[in-house]
Structure 1
Amino acid sequence: MSAPSPVDAPQHVLRLLEELHQKSLEQEAAISKKGKVFSSDVLGDLEDQHPSGSKEAEFDRLMLDKFIALDEDKCQFMYQLIGAMGATNVVEAGTSFGVSTIYLAFAIAKTKAATGKSGIVIATEKEKTKADIARKHWAQCGPTVQQEIELREGDLLETLNDGLPQVDLLLLDSEFNCSMT
């Protein structure tokens, strides 16, 4: 028997989150022999399979339709951390299908109600198809989630370049490659 969720959300949202986490676990198990996806392991496997090709491009193609959501316990921790910190401005770099973003939105809504402060979750996603699916998940949750999220699509070096409030918390949950020049 699992412990009750610390997330203060309607039952339909808790069921949706449970379904999405289960789907993520199933996809991870299908990709990795370990049952948990570590990008370095997958990239190593791809390099072995495609020694002459771009392993990063193949990785991006493989992950295009995968949830690989932040683990449920980590999402719950983020929810509780936001409340403990009194955070109301959160940036999530790497929204994917919007699973962890749901937790962030409920957390800042609760904090805003308790403190009277304003705030927003600024979510970023590079892939349009993932952003579209994230919006659908947020719509299933209702206006409490939707009104708390500003989704910025594109490369996070551009989407987070300006227009940010003072950030209380950054969730960096992205397979991000950059070179320092």
Structure 2
Amino acid sequence: MTTTLHDPTVRTLLDELFTEAARDDQRPERHLPDDSQGRADALADVYMPISEAGGRLLYALVRAIRPAHVVEFGTSYGISTLYLAAAVKDNGVGHVYGSELSATKVTAARTSLAMAGLADRVTILEGDARETLAAVPGPIGLLLLDGWKELSLPVLHLLEPRLASGALVVADDITMPSMRDYLDHVRDPANGYLGVEFPVEDGMEISCRV
């Protein structure tokens, strides 16, 4: 059985995106505003991607649980989105809804998805995720949280009523101090999750809605 991830066009595109993302540390430092939109605009050229191992993990999770709806907070240049979209395509069912503040990144992500032949599998919503994701359909089978870290918990709270029983919530960069409140929430059994930390780069937390 083949996978879309092995398609030469998709593989080449991912390689190019990861190569460009590897230059993030070389990009000039700049003053960052306090507000989310200002930060997004100031960092419009910074990729901030998941790792390749994290992408393969996302692909495998979506293939395994076959969710009808996948939601991504923090699309950026669309690297993680490509993995999610490839998985729903190979499942033959499902749709990905992404949210991104930067207009530059929205355009770039949509272009990459079109180049990969996956544009029909994804809807990218431009703007504040606390507003754009308010109307995405449920039940949500997989939620990826990879936007501004201090907003991970508010976005989760927004979408919790639409999480399917057994839904997976994946949070990236959990070693960052700003993820503390989020981790406290999903690691408290009283809040209805059972999870595990996955050791990939800055860490992923995979939580099952039980």
TM-score (norm 2): 0.63
Distance 2:5 2:12 in 1: 13
- Structure 1 stretches of 4+ with a deviation exceeding 3 A read 6-9, 53-62, 176-180
Query: What's 1:35 paired with?
Result: none
Asked if 1 retains the 8 angstrom alpha-carbon contact of 2:41 and 2:102, the reply is no
Q: Provide the rounded CA distance (Å) in 2 between the counterparts of 1:128 and 1:11.
A: 28
Contact 2:4 2:10 in 1 (8 A): no
Q: 1:147 aligns to what?
A: 120
> Does 2:75 align with 1:95?
yes
* AA at the equivalent of 2:90: K
CA deviation after TM superposition for structure 1 residue 88, in Å: 3.5
1:65 aligns with 2:45: yes
Indicate yes or no: 2:89 matched with 1:109: yes
- Which has the higher relative contact order, 1 or 2, with Cα contacts under 8 A spaced 6 or more apart? 1
Structure 2, unmatched stretches of 5+, are 155-210
Name structure 1 gaps, 5 residues minimum: 1-5, 33-41, 113-117
Query: Residue 12 of structure 1: CA displacement?
Result: 1.4
Identity %: 29
Please give the alpha-carbon distance, in whole angstroms, between the structure 1 residues aligned to 2:42 and 2:149.
15
**Counterpart residue type for residue 11 of structure 2:** L
Residues 1-181 of structure 1 mapped to structure 2, 5 A cutoff: 8-27=5-24, 29-30=25-26, 54=33, 59-112=39-92, 118-142=93-117, 145-178=118-151
CA distance in 2, matches of 1:141, 1:19: 12
- 8 Å CA contact 2:70–2:96 kept in 1: the answer is yes
Amino acid at match of 1:68: M
Q: Secondary structure at the match of 1:150?
A: strand
* Cα distance in 1 between the residues matched to 2:136 and 2:68: 16
TM-aligned CA deviation for residue 126 of structure 1 = 1.2
1:80–1:31 Cα change, 3 Å: same
Output the amino acid matched with 1:137.
Answer: S
- Is residue 125–residue 131 contact of structure 1 (8 Å, CA) maintained in 2? yes
1:18 counterpart letter in structure 2: D
CA RMSD of aligned residues (A): 2.7
CA contact (8 A) 1:7 1:76 kept: no
What secondary structure does 1:168 align onto? Answer: strand
Determine the C-alpha separation between the residues in 2 that align with 1:127 and 1:177: 17
The two structures have a TM-score, normalised by structure 1, of 0.72
Deviations 1:15-64 (A, max 9, x none): 1101101111122x3259xxxxxxxxx9xxx8xxx7xx855677545422
Do 2:40 and 2:102's aligned partners in 1 also have CA atoms closer than 8 Å? Answer: no
